[in-house]
Structure formats: structure tokens, C-alpha cells
């Protein structure tokens, strides 16, 4: 009994200290909803984070201050404020709780430090992101050469779809095509459409991130992963990233062996690097500065984490956007017909090319409306790296700053009837495509999504080629199709089936 009393007293004292440290709202901090120690606003959210952000905005304004778990947090809903803040280097940090959770999720052993691109900050983040962007550009993210890699996967997928044109789900076959495109760039190898190894890994990681019931609270309160039941679920969810890590380590070892063999067979001269891993290994070998994030063991850890970051970001966003795109065209068959009419005029039976996009304004408008309306990532978390000011309010260092992208892309003061799916909003009076700076599905500023270019290429080539070869129909009729996203830590496309009718 005495032990229980001591334990309870200790927990109360711990909570009190936490409250003193974290729940004293700074002077001149933005107004917001009430909080309680350790949990912050969670007991008062009444639903998911997305809906709560919209309620807070209506009640407290465009800049809302609150506590998410133990972290001081601000939600920005105004486009101009988000744009100014996220272009400022002082807003390029990552939330401590989110970083701790994701580091533990991907770590192979307790105490392992984070790294890579997505969950790092400061000089390490700058080095890794700069290197990754340059290397990925060199290997096709912004080159027409990437077109061949993507189209090869598209035509593989078409063969799979032709074998089963009855009612089916597109989830698996789309994911395989998107995964294979990116896998080729990173590793120089191709996967067969029957290879389930990588697909199981990707699916497992996506399940954790999309599972709001566990990942949502953990992103704000990482200490929950030590509690019974949650601990077991968290450990079980780590199977996918650990399997990915083993596969990546195998690929890295294979590249090192191949590089060594090339040196032995070519009098110490190695052939030109052929993929991302090759270039990264070269960077590690040439780095002599011990403080560099590319040096030695730290470099190898960052290689592994960067592969995970790029692969995870590219495959998840690419396949999800495609699923939403095909969902909208079976929901609105007249829109599908207009896309196919434009497709027939511009491409006919020829193979689609990225160059065709500029001649297909309606199709481009449809894809941008898909990205705006679905708003795959409805809120993006950054953190301040020093004390800053926003709209006259003071934000201390390490304040979490969420960009409310859902509000930006559904603001009734800017978008006319934003709840309606209307591609014409991206066309001018001459029916030419018109880009809108407030359509920001990949975010903006210094930490915009590193996989943006590839995702846009995949979206266009997969979407157009599939609609060139098939008419997509809803088995139960378009009226029965729901386009309401499933709200987790990000938006998930609702499950649906499709009937494919050949056109070519």
C-alpha cells in the first residue's frame, strides 16, 4: 500500500512540474482553447484534429494558440501568414514530440538518433535536403528521362488491369506502379508486379501513419508508447519500417560490393554512378569533416533515413492522389468524358508524354482540382527554431506551428463554392489552364514536399494513360460513390471498387 501511495504522489508531483514547465502561457501569445496538463486540448477536441482546427479558427481567428499534448502550438489559417512564415528559416524546425515518435518508429534499437530529411532540422536538414534535391534532379525527378521509367510501370499496370476488367479495387495495382517508379531511381533496380515484399512494407508504414486511433495521440504525446497495450501495438507497427531497413541495408551493401568490384576490374576507376545510393555512398567516402552529416557512421544512418523519407513520401502521396483522381472521375462521369474527349483530340492512340500536358488544359485543371478538393495533407507541422513574431503575437522557440491547408484550399472568401468539385476554377475565359498560388497540396516555403515533382509526373502519366485505355465506371452507380475522405493524421481515400471498360 505504501508503494502505491508513493507512486501516486510521484505521478501527481510529476504532472505538477510538467504543468509548471509547459502550461504557463507566454505573454502576448495568441488566444485559443483551454488546456489541461499533459493532454493539452485533446479532451476538448470533440473529434479529429482537422475539424477542431476549423472550429478554433471560427472562434479565435486566423492565429490560434493552444497546447497539443505538452507542446505549445499555434495554428495558422491565413494564406499570407503561412506563406511568410514557412518561407522564413526560423520556421523550419520540427515538433519535438513528432520527431521523437517517428524516430522511435523507424529506429532499430532504443536510443538511436534521428536523421535524414523529413524529421531533422538545422544544418543537418539543410545538408541532407540540398543533397537529395540535387541528386534526385540528376536522376530524373525533373528530367524527361523519368517519363520512360513511369510509363514502363503504367503499361505493366494496364496489362494487369486487362486481365480483370470486372469490379475491382485499384489500391494494390496503383501502389505497385508508384512504388516501382521510385524504387528504380533510388536503387537502380526494378520490382516485378508480383513482388509483395516492398508492398507489405509500404502498406504497414502507411497503416501506422493513417491510423488516427494510435498515431494521432502518439504524435503529440510520445510517452504514451511506453504504456501497456499501446506499447505492444507500437512495437508491432515497427515490423514494416524495420523490414524496410533490412531491405535498404541489403541494397546498400550490394551497391558497395558492386562499387568495389568495379574498382578492382577497372584499375581503380569506377563507372559513373547510376542511382541515388551510388551517389550517396560516394559522398560519404569523400567527406572528411567529422561535423558533417555525411561523415562515417552518421552518414550511413542518414543514407538509410533519407531513403526511408524519400520512398515513404513519394509512394504515399503518389498512390493516394491517383486513388482520389480516379474516385472523382467515377463520381462525375461527365468530367471523365470531357477528359477523354480532350485526350482523343491531343493524343489519340499515341503514347502520352509529359509534353502533352501543356496542350491539355482541362485535364490539368481536373488534376489540380483533385489536389485542392481532396487536400491529402490537411495540416502541416513545423516548429520555430528561435523566438519569432506572427501578426503581433510572440512565439517562443520550439513552438509547434501548424499550417491549416484545408482552410487555405477551402476558404469561402477566396474559392467560390469550395465544397463543389469544379475543375473550371483552374481555367481562364479562353479555357486555358490557370495556376493558382493558393492550391498548395505539396506545401510551400523551405520545406515543401521533396517528392512534388515525381508525384506530379506520376499523377499525369498514370491518370491520362489509364483513361486512354479504359472507361472507369462505378459498379453500383455514380450516385452511390462517396468522395468524403477518411480523416486520420492525413486524409485517406475512401475504399471503392471500379469497373473497367476497354477503349483501345
Instruction: Give residue-wise pLDDT tens across range 216-248.
Output: 778 888 888 998 888 888 888 888 778 888 888
d(CA 313, CA 318): 8
Does a structural domain hold residue 79? Answer: no
**Is 63 a member of any domain?**
no
Nearest to 377 by CA among 417, 317, 430, 465: 317
Cα-to-chain-centroid distance, residue 268: 41
- Residue 115 to residue 132: CA distance in whole angstroms: 13
Q: How many domains, the chain?
A: 1
Question: Cα(252)–Cα(440) distance, rounded to whole angstroms?
Answer: 35
The DSSP output letter for 425 is: G
Cβ-count burial 333-370 (b if 16+ within 10 Å, e if not): eebbebbbebbeebbeeeebebebbeebbbbbbbbbbb
Q: What SS3 class is residue 499?
A: strand
Instruction: Give domain status of residue 410, yes or no.
Output: yes
One DSSP character per residue, 332-380 reads -HHHHHHHHHHHHHHTTTSPP-GGGGGG-HHHHHHHHHHHHHH-SS-EE
- The b-or-e profile of 391-410 (16+ CB within 10 A means b, else e) is eeeebeeebbbbbbbbbbbb
| Domain annotation covers residue 389 | yes
pLDDT given at position 244: 80
Distance CA 33, CA 444 (A): 28
CB 23 within 8 A of CB 71: no
Q: What values do phi and psi take at 385, rounded to 5? A: -100, -5
Please name every residue paired with 91 in a beta bridge, in sequence order, or none if there are none.
none
Are the C-beta atoms of 439 and 371 separated by less than 8 Å? yes
**Is residue 210 domain-resident?**
yes
Has residue 454 been placed in a domain? yes
CB-CB contact of 468 with 352 (8 Å): yes
Largest CA distance in the chain: 82
Over residues 432-469, the pLDDT tens digits come to 999 999 999 999 999 998 888 888 888 999 999 999 99
15 marked among binding-site residues: no
Identify whether the C-beta of residue 250 lies closer than 8 Å to the C-beta of residue 304: no
Q: What is the CATH number of the domain that holds 119?
A: 1.10.630.10
Q: Which residues are paired to 498 by β-bridges?
A: 168
Q: Which pLDDT score is estimated for 140?
A: 62
Return per-residue pLDDT of the chain as tens, 504 residues: 554 545 455 555 555 555 555 557 788 999 999 988 888 898 888 888 999 999 999 999 999 999 998 899 999 999 999 999 999 999 999 999 989 988 888 887 777 777 889 889 899 999 999 999 888 877 666 566 778 888 988 998 888 888 766 777 887 778 778 888 888 878 887 766 556 666 666 666 666 666 555 567 788 888 889 988 888 888 888 887 788 888 888 889 988 888 877 655 555 555 566 788 999 999 999 999 999 999 999 999 999 999 888 887 777 778 889 999 999 999 999 999 999 999 999 999 999 999 999 999 999 999 999 999 999 999 999 999 999 999 999 999 999 999 999 999 999 999 999 999 999 999 999 999 999 999 999 999 999 988 888 888 889 999 999 999 999 999 989 999 999 998 888 898 998 999 999 887
How far is the C-alpha of 330 from the C-alpha of 474, rounded, in Å? 6
The rounded distance, in Å, linking the Cα atoms of 354 and 294 is 35
Looking at residue 3, what is its pLDDT?
A: 45
- Which are the contacts of 6, defined by CB distance < 8 A and separation ≥ 6? none
**In terms of residue numbers, what domain contains 264?**
96-502
Whether 383 is in a domain gets the answer: yes
CB neighbour class for 240 (10 Å; exposed up to 12, middle 13-18, buried from 19): buried
Q: Is 480 a domain residue? A: yes
Would you call 468 helix, strand, or coil by DSSP?
A: helix
**C-alpha distances in angstroms, 215 versus 196, 225, 378, 382, 431?**
25, 10, 16, 17, 43
Q: Which residues contact 480 (CB under 8 A, 6 or more apart)?
A: 474
Amino acid at each position: 500500500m505504501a508503494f502505491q501511495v508513493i507512486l501516486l504522489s510521484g505521478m501527481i508531483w510529476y504532472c505538477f512540474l510538467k504543468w509548471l514547465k509547459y502550461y504557463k502561457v507566454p505573454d502576448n501569445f495568441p488566444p485559443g482553447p483551454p488546456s489541461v496538463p499533459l493532454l493539452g486540448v485533446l479532451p476538448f477536441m470533440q473529434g479529429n484534429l482537422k475539424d477542431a482546427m476549423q472550429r478554433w479558427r471560427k472562434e479565435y481567428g486566423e492565429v490560434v494558440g493552444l497546447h497539443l499534448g505538452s507542446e505549445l502550438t499555434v495554428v495558422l489559417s491565413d494564406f499570407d501568414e503561412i506563406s511568410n512564415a514557412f518561407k522564413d528559416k526560423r520556421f523550419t524546425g520540427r515538433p519535438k514530440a513528432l520527431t521523437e515518435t517517428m524516430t522511435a518508429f523507424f529506429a532499430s534499437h532504443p536510443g538511436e538518433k534521428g536523421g535524414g530529411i523529413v524529421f531533422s532540422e538545422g544544418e543537418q536538414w539543410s545538408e541532407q535536403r540540398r543533397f537529395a534535391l540535387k541528386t534526385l534532379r540528376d536522376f530524373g525527378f525533373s528530367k524527361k528521362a523519368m517519363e520512360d521509367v513511369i510509363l514502363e510501370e503504367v503499361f505493366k499496370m494496364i496489362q494487369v488491369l486487362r486481365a480483370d476488367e470486372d469490379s475491382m479495387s485499384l489500391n494494390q495495382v496503383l501502389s505497385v506502379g508508384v512504388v516501382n517508379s521510385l524504387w528504380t531511381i533510388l536503387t537502380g533496380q526494378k520490382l516485378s508486379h508480383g513482388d509483395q515484399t516492398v508492398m507489405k512494407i509500404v502498406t504497414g508504414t502507411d497503416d501506422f501513419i493513417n491510423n488516427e486511433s494510435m498515431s494521432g495521440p502518439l504524435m503529440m504525446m510520445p510517452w504514451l508508447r511506453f504504456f501497456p497495450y499501446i506499447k505492444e501495438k507500437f512495437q508491432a507497427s515497427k515490423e514494416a519500417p524495420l523490414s524496410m531497413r533490412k531491405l535498404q541495408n541489403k541494397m546498400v551493401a550490394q551497391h558497395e560490393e558492386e562499387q568495389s568490384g568495379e574498382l578492382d576490374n577497372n584499375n581503380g576507376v569506377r563507372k559513373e554512378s547510376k542511382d541515388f545510393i551510388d551517389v550517396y555512398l560516394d559522398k560519404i567516402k569523400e567527406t572528411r569533416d567529422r561535423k558533417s552529416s555525411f561523415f562515417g557512421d552518421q552518414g550511413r544512418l542518414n543514407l538509410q533515413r533519407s531513403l526511408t523519407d524519400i520512398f515513404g513520401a513519394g509512394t504515399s502521396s503518389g498512390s493516394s492522389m491517383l486513388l482520389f483522381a480516379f474516385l472523382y472521375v467515377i463520381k462525375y462521369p461527365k468530367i471523365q468524358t470531357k477528359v477523354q474527349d480532350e485526350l482523343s483530340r491531343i493524343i489519340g492512340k499515341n503514347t502520352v508524354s509529359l509534353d502533352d500536358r501543356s496542350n491539355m488544359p482541362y485535364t490539368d485543371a481536373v488534376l489540380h482540382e483533385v489536389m485542392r478538393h481532396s487536400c491529402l495533407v490537411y495540416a502541416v507541422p513545423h516548429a520555430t527554431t528561435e523566438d519569432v513574431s506572427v501578426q503581433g503575437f510572440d512565439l517562443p522557440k520550439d513552438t509547434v506551428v501548424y499550417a491549416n491547408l484545408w482552410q487555405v484550399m477551402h476558404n469561402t472568401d477566396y474559392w467560390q463554392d469550395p465544397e463543389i468539385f469544379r475543375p473550371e476554377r483552374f481555367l481562364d475565359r479562353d479555357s486555358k489552364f490557370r495556376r493558382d498560388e493558393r492550391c498548395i497540396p505539396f506545401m510551400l516555403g523551405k520545406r515543401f514536399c521533396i517528392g512534388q515533382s515525381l508525384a506530379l509526373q506520376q499523377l499525369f502519366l498514370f491518370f491520362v494513360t489509364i483513361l486512354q485505355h479504359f472507361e472507369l465506371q462505378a459498379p453500383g452507380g455514380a450516385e452511390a460513390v462517396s468522395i468524403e475522405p477518411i480523416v486520420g493524421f492525413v486524409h485517406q481515400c475512401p475504399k471503392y471498387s471500379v469497373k473497367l471498360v476497354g477503349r483501345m
